[in-house]
Amino acid sequence: MCQLLGMNANTPTDLRFSFTGFAERAGHTDQHTDGWGVAFFEGKGLRHFVDHQRAVDSPVADLIRSYPIKSENVIAHIRKATQGEVLLENCHPFVRELWGCYWVFAHNGDLKDFRPRLHAQFHPVGSTDSEHAFCWIMQELAKSHAGVPSIAELTLTLKELAAHIAPRGTFNFLLSSGQALWAHASTQLHYIERQHPFATAQLSDEDLSLDFATCTTPADRVAVIATAPLTRNETWTAIAPQALHVFVDGQCLAH
Amino acid sequence: MCQLLGMNANTPTDLRFSFTGFAERAGHTDQHTDGWGVAFFEGKGLRHFVDHQRAVDSPVADLIRSYPIKSENVIAHIRKATQGEVLLENCHPFVRELWGCYWVFAHNGDLKDFRPRLHAQFHPVGSTDSEHAFCWIMQELAKSHAGVPSIAELTLTLKELAAHIAPRGTFNFLLSSGQALWAHASTQLHYIERQHPFATAQLSDEDLSLDFATCTTPADRVAVIATAPLTRNETWTAIAPQALHVFVDGQCLAH
CA nearest A178 in B: which residue? B125
- Reduce the DSSP state of residue B166 to 3 states and report it: helix
Strand partners, B35: none
| Closest chain B C-alpha to A50 CA, distance in angstroms | 6
Q: Would the CB atoms of A126 and B97 count as touching at under 8 Å?
A: no
Q: Which of B53, B165, B173 is nearest to B103 (CA)?
A: B173
Q: Tell me the chain B residues in contact with residue A88 when contact means C-beta distances shorter than 8 Å.
A: 42-43, 45-47
- Residue B254 binned pLDDT confidence (cut-offs 50, 70, 90): low
CA–CA dist A196, B185 (Å, integer): 56
CA–CA dist B80, A225 (Å, integer): 38
* Preceding omega of A197 cis (within 30 degrees of 0): yes
Q: Would the CB atoms of B97 and A125 count as touching at under 8 Å?
A: yes
Q: Which of B45, B221, B37, B103 is nearest to A131 (CA)?
A: B45
Nearest to A48 among B48, B97, B124 (CB): B48
CA nearest B121 in A: which residue? A121
> Which fold, A3-72+80-217?
Glutamine Phosphoribosylpyrophosphate, subunit 1, domain 1 (3.60.20)
Q: Tell me the chain B residues in contact with residue A70 when contact means C-beta distances shorter than 8 Å.
A: none
- Reduce the DSSP state of residue B108 to 3 states and report it: strand
Nearest to B47 among A46, A66, A88 (CB): A88
Residue A124 CB: number of other CB atoms within 10 A?
A: 22
pLDDT in tens, A206-228: 999 999 999 999 999 999 999 99
Nearest to A43 among B43, B87, B124 (CB): B87
* ipTM here: 0.94
Q: Which of A177, A180, A140, A179 is nearest to A158 (CA)?
A: A140
Q: Would the CB atoms of B46 and A100 count as touching at under 8 Å?
A: no
Q: Would the CB atoms of A59 and B48 count as touching at under 8 Å?
A: no
Range ranked top by mean pLDDT from A22-26, A137-141, B109-113, B145-149: A137-141
Nearest to B45 among A59, A88, A99 (CB): A88
CA–CA dist B19, B1 (Å, integer): 18
pLDDT value of residue A34: 86
Residues of A catalogued as catalytic: 2
Q: Which of A73, A2, A72 is nearest to A36 (CA)?
A: A2
Provide the percentage of residues in chain A whose pLDDT is more than 70: 99
pLDDT value of residue A57: 81
Provide the percentage of residues in chain B whose pLDDT is more than 90: 82
pLDDT in tens, B84-94: 788 999 999 99
Nearest to A63 among B44, B63, B125 (CB): B63
| Closest chain B C-alpha to A89 CA, distance in angstroms | 4
pLDDT in tens, A61-119: 888 888 889 999 999 999 887 777 889 999 999 999 999 999 999 999 999 889 999 99
Sign of CA dihedral B61, B66, B67, B70: positive
Residue B70 CB: number of other CB atoms within 10 A?
A: 13
pLDDT value of residue A31: 84
Higher pLDDT, B180 or A79: B180
Q: Is B2 annotated as catalytic?
A: yes
CA nearest B42 in A: which residue? A88
Q: Would the CB atoms of B125 and A43 count as touching at under 8 Å?
A: no
Q: What share of chain B is helix, strand, coil (3-state, %, to 5)?
A: 25, 35, 40
Q: Would the CB atoms of A49 and B46 count as touching at under 8 Å?
A: no
Measure Cα distances from A32 to A23, A85, A125, A170 in Å.
Answer: 9, 14, 22, 17
pTM of the model: 0.96
| Closest chain A C-alpha to B6 CA, distance in angstroms | 20
Question: Is-contact B190 B236, C-beta < 8 A?
Answer: yes
CA–CA dist B98, B104 (Å, integer): 11
- What number of residues does chain B have? 255
Greatest alpha-carbon span in chain A = 51
| Closest chain A C-alpha to B44 CA, distance in angstroms | 6
Crossing angle for the helix pair A16-24 and A59-66, nearest 10 degrees? 150
DSSP symbols for B19-60 = HHHHHHTBTTSSB--S-EEEEEEETTEEEEEEESS-TTT-HH
Q: Tell me the chain B residues in contact with residue A95 when contact means C-beta distances shorter than 8 Å.
A: 95
| Closest chain A C-alpha to B239 CA, distance in angstroms | 32
Q: Would the CB atoms of A63 and B66 count as touching at under 8 Å?
A: no
pLDDT in tens, B50-89: 998 888 888 898 888 888 899 999 999 998 877 778 899 9
